[in-house]
Amino acid sequence: MAIKRNYKGNKNALVLSGGGAHAAYQVGVLSAITKFIPRNHGIPFPIICGTSAGAINATALSCYASCFHLGVKKLEWMWKSLHTHNIYHSDPIRVLGHISRGILGSFQADYANKSARSLLNTEPLRDLLNQVINFDRIDNNISNGYLSALSITASNYSTGNSISFFQSEPGIKPWFRAKRHGEPCQINSEHLMASAAIPLVFPSIKIRNQHFGDGSVHQLSPLSPAIHLGAKRILVIGVEQPKEPVHANENNPHPPNTATIAGHLLDTIFSDTLKSDIERMDRINKTLSLIPKENKKNIEGLQHIDSLVLNPSHDFNAMACEHYNELSISVRLLLRSVGITNDPESSIGSYLLFEKNYCNRLIKLGFEDAMIKEAQIREFLSL
């Protein structure tokens, strides 16, 4: 039996950023945290927020909020048994068929009912999500006091706004800010598909007659959903990696190719806004510390938020290069046709390499990085 916990005094939040296959790193960090928590213990983060592939991890954890160990084990099993064909079609017939339908669709009249166009078809991901995630458990965990709120962020291509779909206990109201707002709903696989739809590579998803894509695209404030849902302390598992030097001819440096530029764009989408938001929160905390205690009562909308950020210690690109040939030849040919190759200067391959050997290495790295910071994590979570 799991231990029932009352989370009224616990305002810890977990924020999981996006990044395709990079999200396997988050599983390793979470696996390490289970080593600090007793078995059959509820999740130490009653508020969980996810974006892109991090949204899938966040939802899976929410379904097992009553037993943190079990939730992480389920998540780890899923990532360790992954293959590319579980995420998108990778066999020659369906890869060619998807591209052909996209080309033919470009000739349709404007009034025709068009399908979303993309480089890859993620229909297998939808099947996987509906198979491994029991969305009914989210409401059960909220009702039983194991979970306070789950938030999934997606980008609304129709309006250009960042939308945080959230499912929570009563009393949490929607929020409206410039270019971003929170919308209460029942989370399902379509919200996850939308949040994880990497621009151009994966197709956009239609929800209530509006088109949504990867949550990182328009997300100006990645920490905002957690704060609006009541967080006082935020543990962030990011995917910002140190860039390992690439040995090039310094006398004749070559210009960046398509793959390199596209990789930089994705890195910016998935990492830079989070880093900026954390810096902004730190500045607000320092400003608040300078205000006399008697004057703080007159300040509305600002509060001190503690945070701990865990990022990878090694570059994923170098790892991905070693496993690139595990992608099917049809996918490699497709990527090459648009200028994407096994280039250590580009991160494209590292986002799309949903193969278990590569994912296992990221999980292992996440576990090791978290164990090195065990003391900080224990102190932050009051374990």
- The pair of structure tokens assigned to 254 is 């070559």
Q: Which of 373, 366, 307 is nearest to 45 (CA)?
A: 307
3-state secondary structure of 48: strand
* Segments of the chain assigned E as strands: 12-16, 47-51, 149-156, 161-168, 176-177, 180-184, 205-207, 210-213, 233-237, 306-310
Which pTM value belongs to this model?
Answer: 0.91
Q: Would you write out the chain's pLDDT as a tens digit for each of its 383 residues?
A: 444 444 555 789 999 988 899 999 999 999 999 999 998 889 999 999 999 999 999 999 999 999 999 999 999 999 999 999 999 999 999 998 888 887 777 766 666 667 788 899 999 999 999 999 999 999 999 999 999 999 999 999 989 999 999 999 998 999 999 899 999 999 999 999 999 999 889 999 999 889 999 988 888 889 999 999 999 999 999 888 777 655 555 555 667 776 777 777 777 777 778 888 889 899 988 988 888 877 766 666 678 899 999 999 998 888 998 999 999 999 999 888 887 777 766 778 888 999 999 999 999 999 999 999 999 999 999 87
234: Cβ–Cβ under 8 A, 6 or more apart, which residues? 12, 13, 14, 15, 223, 226, 227, 305, 306, 307, 308
pLDDT tens digits, one per residue of 63-119: 999 999 999 999 999 999 999 999 999 999 999 888 888 777 776 666 666 778 889
Cα four-point dihedral sign 369, 372, 373, 374:
positive
CA 153, CA 175: separation in Å to the nearest integer? 13
